Structure 1
């Protein structure tokens, strides 16, 4: 691992290789939490590129320390930091002196001021100017390093939100990835300042994660939980443990504004003094597990990427399209006119429709005891599913089933109206689409692989365009993009690239601290 201490050395190192660059900025005093960030940075390749080089910076930033804070005694040990960064997989460590970052001195430095709405609460209230200093130095480092990806710990949640906003507002070409909080065995979040604690204070400090964990348990499954009362209980428990409370606040995780209720995940954050250390920690209060709704037109690749995305995040895959195809198969099998709602309705009585994971790992679809997994993908079913799905009785019956499946959450569902009609309160909504030409190409490939005749490309395009019109113009739950859905156009993107984009969108809304990624 190379040690870089000047801007010139950094520039030469950065230009030496074309590999993607991932960046982990720190103030030193590195511990296992920093090592986890570096290790994550080495493992995740940027979309369409090879494995990255990882750069760690160590800079005790004077701009983010206020009067009377611990700037002078903040732990500094570059040799130890370099050893830990190297063992975690970093390719280089950038450890500049202040004069390298502020060549004209602090007085001549252009400074950044994040929005007041993100600073006025939580730590910003207790440490005025702190996040201005953080934003200014991180922006300076990003300008020098120019990474493809910036990795930050979720432990400093307010800082993560502010730096995401900085990157978005300045249009910087970098992806911001948050990584889950790393804790000691007893739950205390790792922090460089934990080394200030005596053994007695260290035992006392664990009251913070324990009080927050109890609040999370009390909120689970209770959408009407009283957030003000939960916050007060945490503050009282910390006081009883001898900690001096700065704040305990329940806020929206993204706007950092007070939350009226627990409809979606809520950040319950706290700061308290324990001896010489100021401890911060948080939990995410949730009344159910997260839900992802992926809508879009036929042939956009929703089923393939949704299945892979669900497996990656440990979510249950709910293939609503397969449910509608299964009903369409039943309509055809019974010889019923697919356009006659009155004739279709009786087939829905006592309908036994089940989705399960097959022994080989794929999804199995059974209707009234019969395995129809392959049969529902035939061109004949595809041609008629739109007409069957348009019936109010069909949509009502299947939507009711889907909502029951989603009561506990923990799933990703794809279809035509998941975000608008079935799960309007989903944490993430995506409108996954592609051009008609691209979808026709994919449809031809799928038919060929399944052994079905492949029509001319122009005919496939006409079929898909007609299907789009039917789905978008139907009376009941027409295909439309939800107002709060993110449009993701998949032309030219492989499955891995689309899944990576979905994961990034998910993590912007559901942190690892709220929904950890399954261990490989």
Structure 2
């Protein structure tokens, strides 16, 4: 398996290895790979001759220095996992911070037509500037035909689609369904850091989302939100940061239900000091 640690060598390899008739897919990750990541890569492999997987813990999208410090870095294990999918159709790009940012580790400023001000944007200042900065740079380096992102970070997925549109980046952004543990917990690299009692409690998040979806069929968004807030207020371990029912396209909270719009419920929860997010499509 080819592993590149700088963009110069990666671009040189891609320039000589891809033919005019072959396409390159791209899956950006921060490592600590799990089945959710692998499902994105498998999707990419099914649609492209080659898939580039970046493994880079991006400092500019963390607004918590301790979170950045503690984020798992498991490159050797990640490469072993990738080899179970393919040894010759996957290329790993594991750059240094210097290779991506040179001497200036700061975010660019982006406008996503208001998508950045909802939900995660309200609680993680500058987060989507960091996301836009790294994704744009990686897309410029790899120049893939398609890039694959999970719907667990649905707001991020919509923002990246907007990024590609506004900056005329010639790439198809492909959203892939949420990959879950057997007990329903959305797969995340952060799950590895959960203490046992919090890991056992965490499936309550998805259970609550499923109940909220059912209630949304007969109750108002306000009533459903109140119910969710009460569920977590009575929970001994999990702390609700936010729950929002929003328009899938604009990400703005629902005001009046419309049969012509699609809605989604979004949630962020603290399990001790680990922040977990999830969402579910609503009918």
TM-score interval (norm. to shorter): over 0.9
**Larger gyration radius, structure 1 or structure 2:** 1
Q: Distance in 2 between matches of 1:239 and 1:205?
A: 15
Q: Distance in 2 between matches of 1:239 and 1:92?
A: 46
1:121-520 alignment, distance < 5 Å: 121-220=118-217, 222=218, 225-242=219-236, 243-259=238-254, 260-263=256-259, 264-286=261-283
- Deviation, 1:88, is 2.6
Q: How many residues of Structure 1 are paired with residues of Structure 2 in the alignment?
A: 275
Q: Name stretches of at least 5 consecutive residues in structure 2 with no aligned partner.
A: none
Q: 1:24 aligns with which of 27, 32, 45?
A: 27
Secondary structure of the corresponding residue to residue 243 of structure 2:
strand
Whether the aligned pair in 2 keeps the contact of 1:114 and 1:131 (CA below 8 Å) is: no
Secondary structure of the corresponding residue to residue 106 of structure 1:
coil
- Deviation, 1:258, is 1.5
- Deviation, 1:68, is 4.3
- Deviation, 1:245, is 1.1
Q: Name stretches of at least 5 consecutive residues in structure 1 with no aligned partner.
A: 45-50, 287-520
Task: Give CA-to-partner distance per residue, 1:20-42, whole Å, 9 cap, x none.
Answer: 10000000010000000000111
- Deviation, 1:177, is 0.3
- In the superposition, the TM-score normalised over structure 1's length comes to 0.51
- Deviation, 1:112, is 3.5
Q: Distance in 2 between matches of 1:274 and 1:55?
A: 33
Q: Distance in 2 between matches of 1:116 and 1:27?
A: 26
Matched, 1:40 2:43: yes
- Deviation, 1:270, is 0.5
**1:162–1:69 CA distance, 2 compared to 1 (3 A):** farther
Pairwise CA RMSD: 1.5
Task: Give CA-to-partner distance per residue, 1:54-96, whole Å, 9 cap, x none.
Answer: 0100010000011444001100010011112222335211000
**1:57–1:69 CA distance, 2 compared to 1 (3 A):** same
- Deviation, 1:2, is 0.7
Aligned to 1:8: 8
Secondary structure of the corresponding residue to residue 267 of structure 1:
strand
Matched, 1:72 2:69: yes
Task: Give CA-to-partner distance per residue, 1:221-250, whole Å, 9 cap, x none.
Answer: x4xx30111122112212322311110011
* Higher RCO structure (Cα 8 Å, ≥6 apart): 2
Secondary structure of the corresponding residue to residue 155 of structure 1:
helix
Q: Distance in 1 between matches of 2:166 and 2:44?
A: 24
